């Protein structure tokens, strides 16, 4: 209860949810003693795969007995997910105490919700100077609150695509501008660039960071992977190859994220043995990223059919998700809810050979598009219906033995499923 009251106060400190600037967080961090200057960090920017790449690095580092602090966003079930110190989520009472201390130091000065959360993370992380920090950028990067570090161990650029376009002017809604916002201010250390969905995007990244003197690694040029037989895949870079078991997370795109994670850790020359990589990638935690639900209230409604929850909400996410679906020999059904500012028609256009699509309302989010309006946007697609809720949607679908049900379109929608379950 105390934690929720503080979070409510945090949300009232600034009239806007997002106000792209570094001034406020810099001023607060000065009052906090510039804690961001006291930590060792691996930063991750991009559109898709940030969280999954961090989860892979975290799992490998834990397997090698490293202590980590982790800062990600948004959270799925509990805000504690964003605040991991010494490999564990901070408990409610300790998180409330941390927030309260930072709140008092801020002294009611205007600051956005994300900025004060980020400052709180840095403040706590500075207590663990030997730990490796894994930090996920929020919106873009250039004016993101996480972008006040003066040095880091590495900057990872995950897959970049069109998303959050409403924060850009109409004439700036290009991949060139998005790449610039995400990569133009990367620190001078090591830059690892993951696989990109198009050559245009990769070339744009290379051009944008060309004057950055960092050591650079690019997918395909400097590291890659291939899928072998007998449930193994092979990672390779200039240090040699690794034969690895298939990970515990679903989807080809996860092999791309894991390869980026391995490239980063091998570049940093940490004391990580082959078995740490091999074991670590089979223990990755991944909420709402192609997550199979195997038990619970919602799972009971689909009986023995496969239930997948995925929070993807942009074209690259849809492309990766469809790639996974097309690898399966079964009927596929989709339940979808989305935020109003997403490219709805473009997102759904990537899905092929889908038996049914059901749009639903996302009642927990005032900035979502209603299920009825979403159905109207999908009017050129056959087998589309609307239902008010997840439970009603599942009950309305004619699921046959062996069918797959995917719930997707929003991380908020994925969170709703997991909470209901």
Q: Domain ranges for the chain, please list them.
A: 2-280, 291-420
Give exposure, 85-100, as e/b (b: 16+ Cβ within 10 Å). beeebbeeeebbbbbb
User: Residue 230's pLDDT is what?
Assistant: 83
User: Residue 303's pLDDT is what?
Assistant: 93
d(CA 245, CA 236): 14
Query: Prior bond to 272 cis, omega within 30?
Result: no
Q: What is the pLDDT tens value at each position of the chain, 421 positions in all?
A: 899 999 999 999 999 888 889 999 999 999 999 999 999 999 999 999 999 999 999 999 999 999 999 999 999 999 999 999 999 999 999 999 999 999 999 999 999 999 999 999 999 999 999 999 999 999 878 899 999 999 999 999 999 987 666 666 777 678 898 999 999 999 999 999 999 999 999 999 999 999 999 999 999 999 999 998 888 999 999 999 999 999 999 999 999 999 999 999 999 989 999 999 999 999 999 999 999 999 999 999 999 999 999 999 998 899 999 999 999 999 999 999 999 999 999 999 999 999 999 999 998 899 999 999 999 999 999 899 999 999 999 999 999 999 999 999 999 999 999 999 9
CATH of domain 2-280: 3.40.1190.10
Residue found under tokens 């982790």: 70
d(CA 7, CA 102): 12
CA pseudo-torsion sign 165, 167, 173, 175: negative
2-280 and 291-420 have identical folds:
no
Domain 291-420 has CATH 3.90.190.20: yes
User: Residue 170's pLDDT is what?
Assistant: 76
User: Residue 237's pLDDT is what?
Assistant: 98
Provide the 8-state DSSP code for 160.
Answer: -
Counting beta carbons within 10 angstroms of the beta carbon of residue 78, is it exposed (0 to 12), middle (13 to 18) or buried (19 or more)? middle
CB contact set of 54 (below 8 Å; sequence gap of 6+): 44, 70, 72, 134, 136
pTM comes to 0.95
User: Residue 172's pLDDT is what?
Assistant: 67
Nearest alpha carbon to residue 76 among 402, 389, 416 = 416
Structure tokens at 194: 């993951």
Neighbours of 340 (CB within 10 A): 15
């Amino acid at each position: 209860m105390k934690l929720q009251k503080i979070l409510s106060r945090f949300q009232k400190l600034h009239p806007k949810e997002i106000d792209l600037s570094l001034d406020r967080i810099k001023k607060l961090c000065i009052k906090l003693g510039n804690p961001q200057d006291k930590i060792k960090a691996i930063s991750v920017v991009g559109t898709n795969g940030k969280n999954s790449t961090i989860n892979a690095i975290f799992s490998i580092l834990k397997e090698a007995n490293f202590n980590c602090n982790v800062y990600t966003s948004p959270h799925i079930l509990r805000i504690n997910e964003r605040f991991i110190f010494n490999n564990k989520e901070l408990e409610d009472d300790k998180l409330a105490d941390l927030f309260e201390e930072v709140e008092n130091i801020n002294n009611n000065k205007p600051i956005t919700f994300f900025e004060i959360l980020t400052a709180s993370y840095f403040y706590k992380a500075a207590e663990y100077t030997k730990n490796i920090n894994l930090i996920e950028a929020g919106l873009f990067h250039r004016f993101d609150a996480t972008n006040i570090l003066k040095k880091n161990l590495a900057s990872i650029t995950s897959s970049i695509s069109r998303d959050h376009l409403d924060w850009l002017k109409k004439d700036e809604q290009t991949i060139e501008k998005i790449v610039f916002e995400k990569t133009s201010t990367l620190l001078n250390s090591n830059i690892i660039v993951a696989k990109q969905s198009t050559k245009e995007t990769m070339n744009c990244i290379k051009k944008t960071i060309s004057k950055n003197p960092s050591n650079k690694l690019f997918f395909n040029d400097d590291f890659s992977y291939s899928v072998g037989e007998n449930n193994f895949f092979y990672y390779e870079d200039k240090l040699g190859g690794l034969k690895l078991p298939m990970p515990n997370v679903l989807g080809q795109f996860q092999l791309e994220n894991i390869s980026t994670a391995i490239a980063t850790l091998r570049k940093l020359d940490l004391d990580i043995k082959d078995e740490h990589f091999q074991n670590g990638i089979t223990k990755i935690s991944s909420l709402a990223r192609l997550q199979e639900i195997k038990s619970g209230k919602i799972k009971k409604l689909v009986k023995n059919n496969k239930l997948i929850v995925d929070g993807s909400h942009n074209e690259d996410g849809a492309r990766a998700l469809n790639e996974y679906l097309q690898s399966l020999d079964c009927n596929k059904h989709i339940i979808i809810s989305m935020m109003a500012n997403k490219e709805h028609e473009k997102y759904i256009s990537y899905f092929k050979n889908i038996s049914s699509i059901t749009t639903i309302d996302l009642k927990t989010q005032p900035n979502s598009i209603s299920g009825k309006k979403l159905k109207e946007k999908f009017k050129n697609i056959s087998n589309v219906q609307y239902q008010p809720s997840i439970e009603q949607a599942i009950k309305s679908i004619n699921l046959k033995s062996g069918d797959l049900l995917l719930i997707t379109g929003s991380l908020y929608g994925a969170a709703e499923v997991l909470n209901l379950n």
